[in-house]
């Protein structure tokens, strides 16, 4: 493929830098605005080009030395080569651009991106990939766009310190396991109290082999408070040893007059990967919904009650809907453990749950959405029937958020404010909160 000189103008969603060759957009990973580079074109499409850096001729002033020696090879991070303020500025611009192009949201209603207090060492969950090659076990993350495992050299720069201790312990442990080639993945999750749960994914014919191996060597994993084995779908998850739940706190007084609220989630259950920024999401949602104590709140995709249980103290009642039964069990347990008696949790798919509420003639003053990456397009047409005065939409994908903004607008709701929140420093991923209210026209 041909070579060219390229000046990088800005960063884009997906992480690459953008420059132009003969008027055509060219995307180059691991570049920074202000870079001038000699590149090789790796892909040529009718509407765009992709390239790779051969030589950095003039580095951008926004560059910073990446702390991870495999950055650029490992697919876990995109932007370690950028100063953190430059990452935040880029995320704000990218988010605003996507919402304008996909949802026609004016820049004036988008607040500046909220930076994370800890841009490294924040990640509380990882999925380690494993590959045995020439007798050596490689444990780390996939190279971008491949299933090639890039081994973690020592520690992962964005992972919680407890996770890095466990990575060291796992290296030593798995040297002794004869069927390590049957271990494609190990999940690690850590609570904000430092307790950790491991899930070993085993694809061999005899899971008991791994179970017995782990039981006999528990002392080699001192940083693991709980160990599980999964040999297929989640239904195969079995406990080997230790605890079954992890927890994190919403501190006393974090919201006005809020007592300390401890929220737990089961092994294999969902939690946000950045506990500090999860609190930022919660405070934003609470401030924007502005409950006065009399409202009914509907929390769709409620998980373990991450938002609805702290908010329950400021509304008259809460209904939470979630289709993953272990998470509903967690939400009910969390309500009981925190003395919250005005929250009802239903194990239903979002569509079925909303349709049942509409059929029963229910209405809600406030609605909270925290959908998966695919968004909430399937349920939006039914929300207006519940007559909410405000809808808070927590999104992990600006593209599906932009699409859903158009759908909500068609059903009488407009964006009154939106804010990107940096849940994933060193990556291009963008979490956000967006507030919808009924159109006044």
Over residues 44-55, the pLDDT tens digits come to 998 999 999 999
> Which residues form the catalytic set?
396
Q: Give the model's pLDDT for residue 441.
A: 62
- Asked if residues 33 and 94 have their Cβ atoms less than 8 Å apart, the reply is no
pTM value is: 0.94
Strand 24-28 to 366-369 pairing: unpaired
Domain 92-117+247-438 homologous superfamily, CATH = Vaccinia Virus protein VP39 (3.40.50.150)
**Residue 194 CB contacts under 8 Å (≥ 6 apart), including other chains:** 162
> Model confidence at 269, in pLDDT bands (50, 70, 90)?
confident
d(CA 427, CA 98) in angstroms, rounded, equals 17
| Helix, strand, or coil (residue 254) | coil
Q: Is the torsion defined by CA of 102, 11, 420, 323 positive or negative?
A: positive
Tokens describing residue 253: 């007084």
- Asked if residues 398 and 13 have their Cβ atoms less than 8 Å apart, the reply is yes
**Residue 222 CB contacts under 8 Å (≥ 6 apart), including other chains:** 169
| Helix, strand, or coil (residue 167) | helix
- Asked if residues 122 and 116 have their Cβ atoms less than 8 Å apart, the reply is yes
% of the chain with per-residue pLDDT over 90: 92
Mean pLDDT of the chain: 95
Over residues 348-367, the pLDDT tens digits come to 999 999 999 999 999 999 99
d(CA 405, CA 369) in angstroms, rounded, equals 13
> Model confidence at 132, in pLDDT bands (50, 70, 90)?
confident
> Model confidence at 135, in pLDDT bands (50, 70, 90)?
confident
Polymer length of the chain: 441
Q: How many Cβ atoms are within 10 Å of 16's Cβ, its own excluded?
A: 19
- Asked if residues 360 and 336 have their Cβ atoms less than 8 Å apart, the reply is no
> Model confidence at 103, in pLDDT bands (50, 70, 90)?
very high
Tokens describing residue 16: 């690459």
CATH code, 3-63: 2.40.50.140
Q: Quick one: average pLDDT of 198-214? A: 95
Is the pLDDT reported for residue 39 higher than 90?
A: yes
Q: Give the model's pLDDT for residue 363.
A: 96
% of the chain with per-residue pLDDT over 70: 99
Q: Give the model's pLDDT for residue 246.
A: 96
Q: Quick one: average pLDDT of 373-388? A: 94
Is the pLDDT reported for residue 112 higher than 80?
A: yes
> Model confidence at 94, in pLDDT bands (50, 70, 90)?
very high
- Asked, colleague to colleague, whether 3-63 and 92-117+247-438 share their fold, the answer is no
Q: How many Cβ atoms are within 10 Å of 186's Cβ, its own excluded?
A: 20
Q: Give the model's pLDDT for residue 380.
A: 95
Lowest mean per-residue pLDDT among 85-94, 260-269, 327-336, 427-436: 260-269
CATH code, 125-190+196-242: 2.40.50.1070
Q: Give the model's pLDDT for residue 392.
A: 98
Q: How many Cβ atoms are within 10 Å of 201's Cβ, its own excluded?
A: 22
Is the pLDDT reported for residue 229 higher than 80?
A: yes
Over residues 186-196, the pLDDT tens digits come to 999 999 999 99
Q: What are the φ/ψ torsions at residue 369 (nearest 5 degrees)?
A: -115, 130
Is the pLDDT reported for residue 107 higher than 90?
A: yes
d(CA 360, CA 376) in angstroms, rounded, equals 22
> Model confidence at 213, in pLDDT bands (50, 70, 90)?
very high
| Helix, strand, or coil (residue 58) | strand
Q: Quick one: average pLDDT of 111-122? A: 97
Q: Delimit the domains of the chain by residue range.
A: 3-63, 92-117+247-438, 125-190+196-242
Q: Quick one: average pLDDT of 369-393? A: 95
- Asked if residues 170 and 155 have their Cβ atoms less than 8 Å apart, the reply is no
- In 101-237, the DSSP E strands lie at 125-133, 136-142, 149-151, 185-190, 196-201, 226-230
């Amino acid at each position: 493929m041909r070579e060219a000189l390229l000046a990088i103008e800005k960063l884009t969603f997906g992480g690459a830098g953008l420059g132009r060759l003969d008027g055509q957009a060219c995307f180059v990973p691991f570049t920074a605005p202000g870079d001038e580079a000699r590149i090789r074109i790796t892909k040529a499409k009718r509407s765009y080009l992709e390239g790779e850096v051969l030589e950095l001729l003039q580095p951008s002033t926004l560059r910073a030395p990446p702390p991870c020696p495999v950055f650029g090879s490992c697919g876990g991070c995109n932007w370690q080569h950028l100063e953190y303020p430059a990452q935040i500025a880029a995320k704000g611009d990218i988010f605003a651009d996507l919402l304008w192009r996909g949802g026609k949201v004016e820049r004036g209603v988008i607040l500046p991106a909220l930076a994370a207090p800890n841009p490294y060492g924040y990640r509380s969950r990882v999925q380690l990939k494993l590959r045995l090659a020439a007798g050596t076990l490689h444990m780390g993350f996939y190279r971008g766009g491949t299933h090639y495992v890039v081994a973690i050299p020592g520690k992962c720069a964005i992972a919680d310190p407890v996770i890095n201790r466990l990575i060291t312990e796992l290296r030593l442990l798995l040297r002794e396991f004869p069927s390590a080639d049957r271990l494609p993945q190990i999940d690690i999750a850590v609570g904000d109290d430092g307790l950790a749960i491991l899930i070993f994914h085993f694809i061999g014919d005899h899971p008991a082999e791994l179970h017995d191996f782990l039981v006999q060597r528990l002392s080699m994993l001192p940083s693991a408070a709980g160990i599980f084995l999964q040999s297929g779908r989640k239904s195969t998850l079995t406990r080997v040893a230790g605890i079954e739940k992890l927890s994190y706190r919403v501190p006393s007084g974090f919201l006005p007059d809020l007592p300390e609220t401890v929220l737990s989630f089961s092994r294999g259950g969902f939690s946000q990967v950045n506990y500090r920024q999860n609190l930022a999401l919660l405070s934003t949602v609470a401030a924007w919904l502005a409950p006065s104590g009399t409202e009914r709140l509907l929390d769709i995709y409620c998980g373990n009650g991450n938002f609805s249980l702290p908010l329950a103290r400021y509304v008259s009642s809460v209904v939470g809907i979630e289709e993953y039964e272990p998470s509903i069990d967690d939400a009910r347990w969390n309500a009981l453990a925190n003395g919250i008696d005005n929250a009802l949790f239903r194990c239903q798919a979002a569509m079925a749950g909303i349709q049942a509420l509409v059929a029963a003639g229910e209405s809600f003053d406030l609605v909270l959405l925290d959908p998966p990456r695919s968004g909430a397009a399937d349920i939006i047409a039914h929300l207006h029937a519940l007559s909410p005065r405000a809808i808070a939409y927590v999104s992990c994908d600006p593209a599906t958020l932009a699409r859903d903004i158009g759908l909500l607008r068609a059903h009488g709701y407009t964006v009154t404010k939106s804010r990107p929140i940096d849940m994933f420093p060193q990556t291009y991923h963008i979490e956000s909160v967006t507030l919808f209210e009924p159109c006044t026209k």
